[in-house]
Amino acid sequence: MGSFNINIDRTGKVFHAKVEGTFSPEDGMESVKAYQAKIAEITVSEYEIHIDCTELNVSSPSTLPILEACFQMYKQDGFNKVVLTLAKNPILKMQLGRVARTVGLENCEINEV
């Protein structure tokens, strides 16, 4: 089961999200609803989005379309920068990088800790 947590740093202009576990399509849809409710509170173009993926598992083929849709939202919503932080996981890094390229998310930075 996947979980997520969202916090907004209004002073630093950073939208923080943390995702963990393995997301089902239902988990993905719940995270999208929470994301949309939170971005309604800010001027997205003034913010960076930082997503902590250190405890995220590689996505299954059935959930990749939802992951792509999320990356497409980040692009369309107009965040200044998208920063993904991962634990050392070459497969997840490759998967997230491929999804970012697929949707044309050019302002995406992937960091390993």
pLDDT at 46: 96
Residues in the chain, how many? 113
pLDDT at 42: 95
pLDDT in tens, 11-68: 999 999 999 998 887 887 888 899 999 999 999 999 999 999 999 888 888 888 888 9
pLDDT at 66: 84
d(C-alpha 72, C-alpha 106), whole Å = 11
CATH, domain range 16-112: 3.30.750
For the chain, what are the domain ranges? 16-112
Confidence category of residue 104, pLDDT binned at 50, 70, 90: very high
pLDDT at 82: 96
Closest-CA residue to 100 (of 34, 43, 53, 33): 53
Closest-CA residue to 7 (of 38, 47, 42): 38
pLDDT at 28: 79
pLDDT at 67: 86
